[in-house]
């Protein structure tokens, strides 16, 4: 059974936030994290910390944040 739709969406979001895409032995992108629910869970567990970093696509002045000086 391949990864669920929710897992696929979460993996895509994690990769947008900086999770790396593993490479196979030939240096090509390895998308095995989509092959099964278990592999998707392992990838999400490894990179899940990126979801809690408060990253956003908004500019800092749009949400009132204060840039680090």
Tell me what pLDDT residue 68 has: 52
CB atoms within 10 A of CB 57: 6
User: Which of 8-46 are b and which e, b meaning 16 or more Cβ less than 10 Å from the residue's Cβ?
Assistant: eebbeebeeeebeeeeeeeeeeeeebeeeeebbeebbee
Structural domain count of the chain: 1
The answer to whether residue 58 is domain-embedded is no
The answer to whether residue 11 is domain-embedded is yes
The answer to whether residue 61 is domain-embedded is no
Tell me what pLDDT residue 1 has: 76
**In sequence order, what are the residues at sequence separation of 6 or more whose Cβ sits closer than 8 angstroms to the Cβ of residue 63?**
56
The answer to whether residue 46 is domain-embedded is yes
Tell me what pLDDT residue 69 has: 44
The answer to whether residue 65 is domain-embedded is no
Tell me what pLDDT residue 50 has: 82
Does pTM surpass 0.85? no
Strands (E), 1-69: none
The answer to whether residue 10 is domain-embedded is yes
Domain that residue 10 falls in:
1-19+29-52
The answer to whether residue 64 is domain-embedded is no
Going from the first residue of the chain to its last (69 residues), give the mean pLDDT of each consecutive group of 10, the final group possibly shorter: 89 89 90 92 89 62 53
The answer to whether residue 48 is domain-embedded is yes
């Amino acid at each position: 059974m391949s990864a669920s739709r929710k897992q696929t969406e979460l993996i895509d979001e994690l990769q947008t936030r900086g999770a790396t895409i593993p490479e196979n032995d030939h240096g090509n992108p390895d998308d095995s994290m989509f092959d099964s629910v278990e592999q998707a869970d392992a990838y999400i567990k490894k990179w899940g910390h990126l979801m809690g970093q408060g990253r956003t696509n908004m500019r800092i002045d749009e949400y009132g944040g204060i840039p680090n000086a």
